[in-house]
């Protein structure tokens, strides 16, 4: 099977499972909005993830993609699996040891961290945040196990177990959240936190059978002297530094948001979830699928194939996410009404959430492209460059937040993220071109400009059509659902016709991928 076809099939599978996972994720958020609205209670829940996420991303998240997977993959591609498993065992044991120490310290100092994080919260909301944080702090250990397992399986180009795990994760959060919810008792939002922990456990367990089929070999060792372990450590140091400093923007965001009106952090979070939807379904799926192939090309020094594969991935991401970005701006009101406006979540909350969503949507394509570009550096076993660019972007983000939060409120916090993503993308592209001499830049630019024109025409049509339909049908749940569905189909049709007329290569690629997936599913049925 060719590398391109392998990447396409893997990306297609990941997109489908990511879509299922994201749908469950929005069902989870919708249920939470129904029970608790856009209030200080939901602000507390969103804030409770910051410390556990800090611990996880500090030691595991970034290290997996930038250090562990490239090194482990190198052993596999060179036919030295036994040594690869010894390196993996040492890495797993070391990470779990360090994580356990950090989790214990975090449990002890949670109150101090929360007070530093959200000084604008009321005493009651700070106490609830502390309670929820301590529940969710169990999650990093479980996510570390599932993340390492995912990294090993991805190195063998096996993606479905981890994809299924994310679906089970969200299903678990929904189940426990709904079973334990009591809208008149704010502390019962902890049901969603319990579901997070159980879901993380299921995410790990569902991957074990596939790992065993690959000949799982575990050794109770921490071999500091092994060159593979040392190589991971060298590659990981800049990532750890980056993610540590990156938390500055998270602290600034929540700190500034805690001083805005109650529920502001929830509005930012809900709109951020919508912002991440196309990034997670399409861009991250393509990036994860293409990464093992990029590693293989880099290991074997097939630079022509490396550039072709990465360019194709970037252009596909731009082609898919730019129209989604424009469409989300045009249909943001019916989108929020359909997903969140029921129960305790009011029409005023919809208007408030639409503000940061507009500014987040502007940066969807940039955020999507930077799911791929750092992985190109990681495949080259260069972790410092994306880290340095990430730090520059983080500092820019913080500066933008301070500048924009006063005039734009929640919109300023969102717009800062979009501007920082654009800066990050531009700098990474520039340095990749210097490093590789060529990155197929003209084709990327050509795809971007054509897609932007088609998306702009589509956006005008969708907005006018949506306004007309809203005038006729109103803003009720059923009417908003109709406007959202009609606008989506109208936008897809307009965009498809324009890009077909333009003769865009990406249109044929996307259509071919969908047809292959449908044909394959038809045979399976």
**Is the pLDDT assigned to residue 11 strictly greater than 70?**
no
Instruction: Give the C-alpha separation, 432 to 370, whole Å.
Output: 12
Q: How confident is the model at residue 235 (pLDDT cuts 50, 70, 90)?
A: confident
User: Does residue 64 sit within a domain?
Assistant: yes
| 523: number of Cβ within 10 Å | 7
User: Does residue 48 sit within a domain?
Assistant: yes
User: What's the rounded mean pLDDT across residues 429-443?
Assistant: 90
| 87: number of Cβ within 10 Å | 25
Q: Which of 350, 362, 364 is nearest to 484 (CA)?
A: 350
Q: Which of 34, 42, 343, 342 is nearest to 186 (CA)?
A: 42
User: Does residue 385 sit within a domain?
Assistant: no
Q: Token match 């120490």: residue?
A: 101
User: Does residue 71 sit within a domain?
Assistant: yes
pLDDT digits (tens, 9 = 90+) for 56-95: 877 776 676 667 777 887 887 777 778 888 888 888 898 8
Question: Please, what is the average pLDDT of the chain?
Answer: 87
Q: Residue 260: which region, alpha, beta or left (left: phi > 0; alpha: psi -120 to 50)?
A: beta
Supply the pLDDT for residue 61: 67
**Is 137:113 a contact under the CB 8 Å cutoff?**
no
User: What's the rounded mean pLDDT across residues 123-140?
Assistant: 95
Q: Tokens standing for 508? A: 């044929």
**Is 273:26 a contact under the CB 8 Å cutoff?**
yes
**φ, ψ for residue 505 (rounded to 5)?**
-60, -35
Q: How confident is the model at residue 315 (pLDDT cuts 50, 70, 90)?
A: very high
What pTM does this model have?
A: 0.77
> How many CA atoms does the CB half-sphere of 45 hold within 13 Å?
29
| Of 327 and 276, more confident | 327
Instruction: Give the C-alpha separation, 475 to 472, whole Å.
Output: 10
Secondary structure of 505-520 as H, E, C letters: HHHHHHHHHHHHHHHH
Residue 166's SS3 state is: helix
**Is 258:50 a contact under the CB 8 Å cutoff?**
no
User: Does residue 184 sit within a domain?
Assistant: yes
Q: Which of 324, 281, 342, 356 is nearest to 46 (CA)?
A: 356
| Of 407 and 213, more confident | 407
User: Does residue 374 sit within a domain?
Assistant: no
Give the domain range for residue 67. 21-36+39-260
Residue 465's SS3 state is: helix
Instruction: Give the C-alpha separation, 220 to 84, whole Å.
Output: 14
| 337: number of Cβ within 10 Å | 23
Q: Token match 């400093």: residue?
A: 245
Cα distances (angstroms) measured from residue 134 to each of 107, 164, 288: 6, 27, 31
| 209: number of Cβ within 10 Å | 10
pLDDT digits (tens, 9 = 90+) for 484-500: 999 999 999 999 999 99
Instruction: Give the C-alpha separation, 72 to 421, whole Å.
Output: 29
User: Does residue 122 sit within a domain?
Assistant: yes
User: Does residue 202 sit within a domain?
Assistant: yes
Q: How confident is the model at residue 522 (pLDDT cuts 50, 70, 90)?
A: very low
**Is the pLDDT assigned to residue 378 strictly greater than 60?**
yes
CA terminus-to-terminus distance, the chain: 23
Residue 170's SS3 state is: helix
Instruction: Give the C-alpha separation, 265 to 256, whole Å.
Output: 9
Q: How confident is the model at residue 517 (pLDDT cuts 50, 70, 90)?
A: very low
Supply the pLDDT for residue 63: 72
Q: Token match 């456990």: residue?
A: 201
How many domains does the chain fold into? 1
Q: Residue 363: which region, alpha, beta or left (left: phi > 0; alpha: psi -120 to 50)?
A: alpha
């Amino acid at each position: 099977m060719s590398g391109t076809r392998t990447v396409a099939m893997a990306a297609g599978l990941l997109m489908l499972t990511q879509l299922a996972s994201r749908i469950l994720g929005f069902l989870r958020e919708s249920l939470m909005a129904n029970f608790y609205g856009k209030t200080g209670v939901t602000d507390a829940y969103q804030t409770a993830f910051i410390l556990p996420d800090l611990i996880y991303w500090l030691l595991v998240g970034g290290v997996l993609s930038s250090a562990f997977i490239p090194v482990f993959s190198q052993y596999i591609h060179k036919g030295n699996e036994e040594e690869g498993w010894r390196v993996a065992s040492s890495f797993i044991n070391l990470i779990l040891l360090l994580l356990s120490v950090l989790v214990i310290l975090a449990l002890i100092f949670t109150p101090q961290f929360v007070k530093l994080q959200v000084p604008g919260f009321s005493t009651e909301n700070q106490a609830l945040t502390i309670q929820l944080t301590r529940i969710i702090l169990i999650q990093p250990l479980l996510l570390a196990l599932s993340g390492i397992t995912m990294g090993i399986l991805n190195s063998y180009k096996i993606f479905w177990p981890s994809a299924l795990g994310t679906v089970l994760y969200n299903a678990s959060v929904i189940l426990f959240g709904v079973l334990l919810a009591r809208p008149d008792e704010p502390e019962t939002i902890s049901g969603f936190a319990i579901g997070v922990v159980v879901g993380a456990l299921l995410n790990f367990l569902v991957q074990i059978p596939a790992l065993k089929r690959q000949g799982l070999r575990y050794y109770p060792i921490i071999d500091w002297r092994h060159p593979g372990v040392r190589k991971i450590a060298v590659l990981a140091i800049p990532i750890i530094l980056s993610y540590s400093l990156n938390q500055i923007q998270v602290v600034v965001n929540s700190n500034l948001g805690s001083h805005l009106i109650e529920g502001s952090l929830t509005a930012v979070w809900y709109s951020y979830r919508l912002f991440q939807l196309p990034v997670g379904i399409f861009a991250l799926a393509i990036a994860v699928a293409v990464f093992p192939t990029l590693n293989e090309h880099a290991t074997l020094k097939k630079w022509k194939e490396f550039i072709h594969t990465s360019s194709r991935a970037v252009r596909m991401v731009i082609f898919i996410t730019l129209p989604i970005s424009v469409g989300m701006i045009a249909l943001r009101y019916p989108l929020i009404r359909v997903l969140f406006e029921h129960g305790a979540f009011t029409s005023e909350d919809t208007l408030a959430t639409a503000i940061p969503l507009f500014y987040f949507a502007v940066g969807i394509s940039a955020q999507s492209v930077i799911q791929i570009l750092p992985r190109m550096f990681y495949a080259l076993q260069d972790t410092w460059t994306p880290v340095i660019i990430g730090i520059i972007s983080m500092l820019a983000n913080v500066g933008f937040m301070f500048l924009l939060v006063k005039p734009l409120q929640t919109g300023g916090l969102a717009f800062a993220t979009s501007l920082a993503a654009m800066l990050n993308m531009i700098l990474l592209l520039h340095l990749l071109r210097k490093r590789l001499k060529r990155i197929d830049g003209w084709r990327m630019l050509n795809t971007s400009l054509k897609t932007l024109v088609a998306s702009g025409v589509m956006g005008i049509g969708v907005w006018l059509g949506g306004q007309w339909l809203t005038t006729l049908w109103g803003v009720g749940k059923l009417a908003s659902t109709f406007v959202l569905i009609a606008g989506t189909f109208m936008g897809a049709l307009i965009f498809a016709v324009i890009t077909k007329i333009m003769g865009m290569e990406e249109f044929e690629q996307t259509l071919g991928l969908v047809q292959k997936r449908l044909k394959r599913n038809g045979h399976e049925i």
